[in-house]
């Protein structure tokens, strides 16, 4: 048993680069669900993708690594990760939200 499995963390990630129009959000949803990470993903009008992640530290580290280099068609220039301090809303699943 991993000692950090009981710890729930929330991170807001902004992904900048060539990440829209290539199926990045759909791939992100599949990867997050495979890792049992909850939260959401959406495109931003500025061309970036915003991702809210919730899970154990190990799960979030794996998901951030995927966001950075897990999709070959994506050209990620920058990953801006912000820790969201508690209290935070609990997410039940991982969803795709409309563009903001």
Residues annotated as catalytic are 25, 43
Residue found by looking up tokens 């992904």 in the block: 15
Asked if 25 and 96 touch (Cβ cutoff 8 Å), the reply is yes
What does the alpha-carbon distance between residue 31 and residue 94 come to, in Å, rounded to a whole number? 10
Q: Quick one: which of 15, 81, 13 has its CA closest to 48?
A: 15
């Amino acid at each position: 048993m991993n000692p950090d499995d009981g710890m729930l963390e929330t991170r807001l990630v902004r992904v900048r680069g060539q990440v829209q129009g290539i199926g990045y959000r759909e791939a992100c949803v599949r990867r997050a669900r495979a890792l049992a990470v909850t939260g959401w993903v959406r495109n931003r009008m500025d061309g970036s993708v915003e991702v809210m992640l919730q899970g154990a530290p190990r799960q979030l580290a794996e998901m951030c690594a995927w966001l950075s280099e897990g999709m070959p068609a994506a050209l990620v220039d920058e990953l801006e990760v912000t820790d969201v301090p508690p209290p935070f809303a609990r997410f039940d699943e991982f969803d795709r939200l409309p563009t903001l």
